[in-house]
Amino acid sequence: MLLSTVASSVVGCFITRSSRVRGIPDPSFFTTSTKMALEQFTFGPYKIDSREVFYSTHLSYALVNLRPVVPVHVLVCPRREVKRFVDLTTDETSDLWITAQKVGSRLETYHKASSLTLTIQDGPQAGQTVPHVHIHIIPRKGGDFRENDEIYDALDEKEKELKQKLDLDKDRKDRSLDEMAQEAEEYRKLFL
């Protein structure tokens, strides 16, 4: 509440009707961005920089992918660290899929895709490498893979590579934080 009041007061001092015409975002953008910037996000044992997160609810969040299979491959996760899909509460399950639907729809439209692949790898034998439920959302276009089902092979390969890279004793070295933050900032604007 205090953050919202402070952000509204500060933003209200600088945003006027005429400044919105010049392309300055609505004050609610700053409040949402400020709240998200102050939140803590984890993905299994890993801390996620809030600049990688572009959408959140009280139970779920969406983030850009460290190692995407194709550009625009993002993840939706429950806020609570839950290893297996069956261990989600009913509210978490509902919110996770509603968030995935909203994120997928906006990204499909924004990137002029024609379809979506939504997938969960639930458990190690299913290819899950980070022990935290997550939905892969991949906007698809004709010809992005020679054979449609090759996307699943690509996901498996990226997950194996990611498992080798995401050693707790090593830094994440794939896409830079700046690159991911820039992508997340672009997507955040889709939810204003």
Rounded to whole angstroms, the Cα distance separating 86 from 97 reads 14
Task: Write out the E strands in 23-98.
Answer: 41-43, 46-48, 53-56, 60-64, 74-78
Active-site residue identified among 58, 73, 111, 134: 134
Q: Could you say which DSSP state residue 25 is in?
A: P
| Total residues belonging to the chain | 192
Active site residue 134: yes
Rounded to whole angstroms, the Cα distance separating 8 from 124 reads 45
HSE of 80, CA atoms in CB hemisphere, 13 A: 13
The CA distances from residue 162 to 18, 58, 64, 77, 100, in Å, are: 48, 28, 14, 17, 22
Rounded to whole angstroms, the Cα distance separating 171 from 190 reads 30
Q: Write out the catalytic residue numbers.
A: 134
